[in-house]
Amino acid sequence: MAFELNSAIKQLFELNIDKIRNISKSNFKEFFPEVGFLFDSEKVKLEKILNVKIKNVSIYEQALTHRSYLQIINNKKYFSNERLEFLGDAILNMVIAEFLFFENKLLEGELTKMRSWIVNKQSLAICAKELGLMQFIKLSYGAEESVKRGSENIIADTVEAIIASIYLDKGLKSATNFIIEKMIPIIRNQSFLEDANYKSMLLEKMQAKSMTPPKYEILESNGPDHEKIFVIGAFNGDKLIGKGTGKTRKSAEQDAARNSLNEI
């Protein structure tokens, strides 16, 4: 197995750079066969969301195809978005690293920490929901139920695959613009660029005052599964000390903790 892998790596490095950068039309169709679900009206909607004029629809169809959907298609010539996810993850990390590098003068350790706040399953899933990408993702019934129960992996992976599809279809500049202009504002709004662990801060403050640790309970949850809003209460024993809202239970708990800090 190790010998086969080493041979494959050697062959990759022996490839002509032009061959790597310029996929021929025949190879392109082999890598990205058109599935046919992203028809004209859907394509236009996706273009508005991404702010990209799509040239090769088949790349985006693959980016939106979860591996579970291949069981429904039942055709071995199609691929899931896993390979695009691999490429998109690398592009996202590079763009975010450059963004943070010029955004401030922090040292390497702090920059690494900030990048980890941004590039994670939770932040990417929120970006997908805020942008409206959920409506386009192709899943099996079981995978769809998993998403409804709160699984963020499938949604987050799709965002990375979309970044790769923009890169392959329109180039690095367009992929960078999508990350900076579409994703960063959402990430800023969700405070992922701040080290604001209010739950930890509230726990420390209550322990300093010899109070029992806070408990968090769902008071309300409103809206459809893909756009649910949680209302969380932070309690000291049976006493409600603060409420918070958010599009995920975690963000609502942080908001409740932040509001509780003002009451303690």
Go through the domains of the chain in sequence order and give each one's CATH number: 22-189 (1.10.1520.10), 198-261 (3.30.160.20)
pLDDT of residue 14: 57
- CA gap 99, 38 in Å, rounded: 32
89 is catalytic: yes
Residue that the structure tokens 């409206």 belong to: 132
Select which of 61, 152, 157, 160 is catalytic.
Answer: 160
pLDDT number for residue 6: 65
pLDDT at site 109 = 81
Q: What is the pLDDT of residue 25?
A: 56
Write down the catalytic residue from 89, 152, 169, 253: 89
Residue 67 confidence (pLDDT): 94
- Low-confidence residues of the chain, pLDDT below 70? 1-26, 191-197, 226
Q: What is the pLDDT of residue 73?
A: 87
Based on the residue annotation, tell me whether 40 is a catalytic residue of this protein: no
Buried b (16+ CB within 10 A) or exposed e, 146-172: ebeeeebebbbbbbbbbbbbbbbbbee
